[in-house]
Structure 1
Amino acid sequence: MRTEFLRSWKVRTGLGGILFFVLLAVLGPWLVDALLGVDPRANDTSAIAQPPSGEHLLGTNQFGEDVLAQTIAGARGSMFVGFLGAAVGTVMAILVGVPAGYFGGRVDAALNFVTNIFLVMPVLPLILIVAGYLQGTGLWVIALIIGLFGWSGGARTLRAQSLSLSGRDFVRAMQMLGERGHRLVFAEVLPHLTGIIASMFLHAMIGAVLAEAGLAFLGISDASAISWGTMIQSAQTQSAVLRGLWWWFIPPGLCIALIGTAAALVNFGVDELANPKLRTARRKTVRRTAAALEKTGSQA
């Protein structure tokens, strides 16, 4: 399974894209300082709203700030919110969904009650209200809010899968041997949910990046922080679209689209390997392709 996972071109391409943006987020400030020699917040009054040129590769915005430097620096803010929000949401989904499905009974009733409350809540309005009250508190709070309000759907999926696994023979055998419940949950049941959890994390990461961009676009974000969302919001307030300043809003939007595409490719690859029907169809396709190539080679 692990070998097939790494051989999938979708997985390799997707992981490569995600790794690129992770490295950009980690090394971004150094790249901006060492390669560009430009402060993302510096105002060049001699180059206001200038198109891409040799001096400013992606042009400048209305305030004379270098767009390329801001795009690189913004990767850290957006990826930080994406990973932290996804981590918080995924951990909460695991802690609520897996025990609920495995133990059943009163534990399931109590945890499922909490999950149902969060499922019926209007998540986006709640995020807007809470983020509005906590406006200006930084990307940490934005990421935590997104994670705390976005776990219920994943918990419901993990509950259903854990409920199915709890009746399997290997789990019953471990129960008969006297294995403790908490160890069965995290050592026997949880490893079988790795593919689902990985897909859930990637989906939550993209959702968190988009949510941060949406909150920033609506003006509910830390104005002092640099992220792709704050760049798009700044371009919107300065009417960059109407003025034809495409180099201001396209780079951050394109980065969000690319990270979403990379995560989707990994999800498709994981689904092909985790889903038995898709895995069987993929193996048949590989065998047919190999047989056709062998036949062509023998004829030549």
Structure 2
Amino acid sequence: MKDWDWKRVRHVTLSFDPGEFKNGREAWEHANDHKSIAGLVRNIERGKKVWDKEKKKWVVLYPPLKVRDWKWFLEWHQNDFPHYHLFLEMEDEGKAGMIGEDRIHHYWRKGRWINEDYIKSEEHWKNQTGYFEKTGYFAKDKEHQGRLPDWAMDVPGLKIRRGGSKAHKREEWGADLAEEKTEGKEKQLPGGLMIDGDTGEVRELPGSEKVKTYRGRLEACGECTRIRVYGKNCYAEGVFNVPYSDLKKVVPGVYKEGQGYEFEMSEKLLADLFDLVRSVQVLRGGFSDVMKHFRFTELRR
């Protein structure tokens, strides 16, 4: 979002009418099942014509608008109902790129409070991208907006995306194609593991992992550690059943926001790291219990 032209950006806030749903969960499921955000953007781009009975011809109700890019963020009201912040980079600047609340209401039919705003300055845009992409749109007495509602904490297997975008949608389509290409190329290993025939990734077989709730995931936070190692001609990444706090004692580094701790690998550090992994292996009974999944990639010049 930071490379968007702020003069072309529209900020649309979308809420739901509680009278249209039994509870906040039903409202979220409605938006998720109907792909409401993507549908709204598609209708904005498409425009709408209606039949004029008196003139006996089609007339434009909403002209089509060109959208360069879009991205949304999900937050929650105190009553556990969801609301969305949708950012759109329009082709046209100023009023020419204005969507219009009447048009938004027309397509967001189960909404109550809807607002469209523009970005007032470059500084205003930097603040917005900082709020949403780093810490969420938090302000005093609004911490609840980024906290999952109670109903979502104990539903097994539930996945709630905090945000989405035009680019993410394209990535999902690409992932579907990749799954079709690799079908039947996996090699099964002992301990519920498999090797992906194309990527070389070692991971758990589908269905082997217990279905977890958000509460369970939060309680388990810090029990595992993701390690990435960059070499001159290779790259390796794995998730290990080694507590994060234990690893930090062995491998001190410099913390970088959004990336974790970075450190330079040495022979001694590598030896200490393997000693830690082996000690956990002895306690847990096997390497498959230590390694959740691992991938090794050779970098070709």
How does the TM-score come out when normalised to structure 1?
A: 0.21
How does the TM-score come out when normalised to structure 2?
A: 0.21
Higher relative contact order (CA 8 A, sep 6+): 1
